[in-house]
Amino acid sequence: MLPRILIAAVAMLLAAGTASAEELKPLFDGKSLDGWVQHGGKAKYRVENGEIVGTSVPNTQNSFLCTAKEYGDFVLELEFKVHPELNSGVQIRSQVFAEEREIDVEGKKKKIPADRVHGYQVEIDPSERSYSGAIYDEARRGRFLADLADNEAARKAFKQGEWNKFRIECRGNTIKTWINDVPAVSLVDDATAKGVIALQVHGVGKREDPLDVRWRNIKLAELE
């Protein structure tokens, strides 16, 4: 009888430890942009009804609202709603330099302009392709590192014109994503182990009518 009690007690402790390790805490206070800083383009960011709203402006490059702090291993959950004609994304473990810098990309040297956010991006894609949850390498390798071409369930999970939910896990060299609780991608890559989290408003060229993307309930748990 005693061993069973001990086993049960150990199981409860392990469960409690797991819950504690993934205790999600607000990354956005719902009232202000304290703890966030904009880099890149000149899209407009504001707080409205407990949401961060990013609005496109013409003739500017991709814009990013970045955390002031860098994060390595973590679980990130958030909700987003995007205009059907606006591309967006969530940067993770990304970098931004105050001055132009040369970095190594797959054995080749590449110049990164000052203030250009670059690195892993969890795609927000309301187009017919429906790659929301895929991982793109923004301004670095410039291609998808893990797409949804063979994941029909994840492509269909995106809800056009409604709130959608991301879960993003970064553990060591593995990044996993979910879209509305449906597994999207699992990527093994070690380009960067730590960096900022950022909310992207993609450039829209000369288009003058403003397009919005909204984020809310942004919560994060740092992992040991």
Domain 25-222 has CATH 3.90.930.12: no
Task: Please say if the pLDDT value at position 7 is more than 50.
Answer: no
- How big is the CA angle at 132 (ends 126 and 133), to the nearest 5 degrees? 170
Residue 203 phi/psi, 5-degree rounding, is: -60, 145
Phi/psi class of residue 30: alpha, beta or left (left: φ > 0; alpha: ψ in -120 to 50)?
Answer: left
Q: What is the mean pLDDT of the chain?
A: 93
Q: What pLDDT, on a 0 to 100 scale, did the predictor assign at position 224?
A: 83
Q: What pLDDT, on a 0 to 100 scale, did the predictor assign at position 13?
A: 42
**Percentage of the chain with pLDDT > 70?**
91
Query: Rounded to an integer, what distance in angstroms lies between the CA atom of residue 134 and that of residue 158?
Result: 12
What tens digit of pLDDT does each residue of 134-167 get?
Answer: 999 999 999 999 999 999 999 999 999 999 999 9
Residue 12 phi/psi, 5-degree rounding, is: -65, -40
How is residue 71 annotated by DSSP?
B
Domain ranges across the chain: 25-222
Task: Please say if the pLDDT value at position 16 is more than 90.
Answer: no
Band (pLDDT 50/70/90 cuts) for residue 39 is very high
**Which of these ranges, 7-16, 140-149, 170-179, has the smallest mean pLDDT?**
7-16
Question: Rounded to 5, what percent of the chain is helix, strand, coil?
Answer: 10, 45, 40
